Amino acid sequence: MNFDRARYALRGALFNLLRQPERALAAYRDSHHADPGHVGTLRMLGWLEAQQRRWPAAEAWFARAVELAPDDAATWFNLGWVRDQGGMDDAACKALARAAELDPNNDRAWYGLGMLHARHGRHREAAAALAEAGRLQPMNGLAWYALGMAWQQCNEPEKVAEVIEHTLMHDPPTAKRLIRDTSRSDYAHRPS
């Protein structure tokens, strides 16, 4: 065990607990200098930078972490998330797709990927990713709403209807919003 790395990391954890992010960052940077190959430290530095909304710095730490741990789905997800927050949409899509590939049960990766595709008008790709997110989290109204809107953009009224039916059972307020936003008045008076 690298005791210097551990000592600095413990100090960083304490400063983080005390809500002193700059001191926590400084301690974790010291921990990183003591052991540059420690992936957990890199992830923590990325997370702390993201907490401060410093997206380029967070992205750099997470990118280094995935270089050292290329099969870690959670780190790929975090890299995708900070890239999305930082406006690096294409790179975010690639990172989230990799996270979903490594962990097909990561509903958040599928959801993020779907939302990025939708943002760029790739509605069929959005629907595919959002359908996976909905399958994994059948009661996630946000994912189902986004899926319904993607199918609406693809001009697939039957699939919109299926999404509305599902959402009426699990999240009636979201279903009502989806009915309104897709102009599916034929569902407006169905019991929830």
Query: DSSP characters for 76-118?
Result: HHHHHHHHHHTT-HHHHHHHHHHHHHH-TT-HHHHHHHHHHHH
Domains and CATH numbers, the chain: 1-92 (1.25.40.10), 104-192 (1.25.40.10)
Instruction: Calculate the alpha carbon distances from 56 to 82, 88, 134 in Å.
Output: 8, 10, 31
Q: What local confidence, expressed as pLDDT, does residue 174 receive?
A: 95
Structure tokens given for 141: 């109204």
Q: Report d(CA 114, CA 54) in Å as an integer.
A: 24
> 114 and 147 in contact (C-beta within 8 Å)?
yes
Q: What local confidence, expressed as pLDDT, does residue 191 receive?
A: 55
Considering only CA atoms, give the Rg of the chain: 20
Q: What local confidence, expressed as pLDDT, does residue 46 receive?
A: 98
Q: Report d(CA 138, CA 126) in Å as an integer.
A: 17
For the chain, 192 residues long, give each residue's pLDDT as a single digit of tens: 788 898 989 999 999 999 999 999 999 999 999 999 999 999 999 999 999 999 999 999 999 999 999 999 999 999 999 999 999 999 999 999 999 999 999 999 999 999 999 999 999 999 999 999 999 999 999 999 999 999 999 999 999 999 999 999 999 999 999 999 998 878 766 555
Q: What local confidence, expressed as pLDDT, does residue 188 receive?
A: 65
Q: What local confidence, expressed as pLDDT, does residue 185 receive?
A: 78
